[in-house]
Every structure is written in C-alpha cells, then in structure tokens.
Amino acid sequence: MAVPAVARAACTTHNGAKAELTARGGLVKNARVVDDGDLVTAAGITSGLELALHLVRREVSADVATRAEGVLEYEARRTVWTP
C-alpha cells in the first residue's frame, strides 16, 4: 500500500526505514534533506534541524537562517537534494 504523501515523490527517511518507504511507493534518495517542492523530508534527528533551517532559508531569508544557526549553535551543512 502506498503512502499518499510520498507516493511517486522524491523523499528520504531514517536509514532503518528506507526500504519500507521505497516499498510503499516513495522515490527514496540517499540524502539528509530532500526538497521536492511541496514535500520536504528529512532523514533523522539532526536532519530535522537541517530541514527547518532549509525552510527558513527558502521561505524567509538566508540572513534569518544564519542567525537561527547561531541561536541553535548548529552549523547547517546545506546539503539538500532537489530535483
């Protein structure tokens, strides 16, 4: 059975769930963050921080994202898979 949100969409998840997500119809990419336009997914705990900072950068500004990195004391890798 397909997962409607990811069926035929580029996505990622934790390594332990990639095979299941693929089996359910996701086009799983080996990446920490995948931005397929309307669907943005992350691979794990710190990848969630990457996803959040990516969305701030994409939707607000690079300056605000950089300031958020400082507040979080986390330097984003900025390695986002996009089609």
> Could you give the CA distance from residue 22 to residue 50 in angstroms, rounded to a whole number?
22
Is pLDDT at 53 greater than 70 in this prediction?
Answer: yes
DSSP collapsed to 3 states, the chain? CCCCCCCCCEECCCHHHHHHHHHCCCEECCCCEEECCCCEEECCHHHHHHHHHHHHHHHCCHHHHHHHHHHHCCCCCCCEECC
Q: What is the pLDDT of residue 1?
A: 54
Report the distance separating Cα 33 and Cα 43, nearest Å: 6
Q: How confident is the model at residue 8 (pLDDT cuts 50, 70, 90)?
A: confident
Check: CB of residue 42 under 8 Å from CB of residue 81. Answer: no
In this prediction, residues 17-25 reach a mean pLDDT of: 93
Could you tell me the pTM of the whole model?
Answer: 0.86
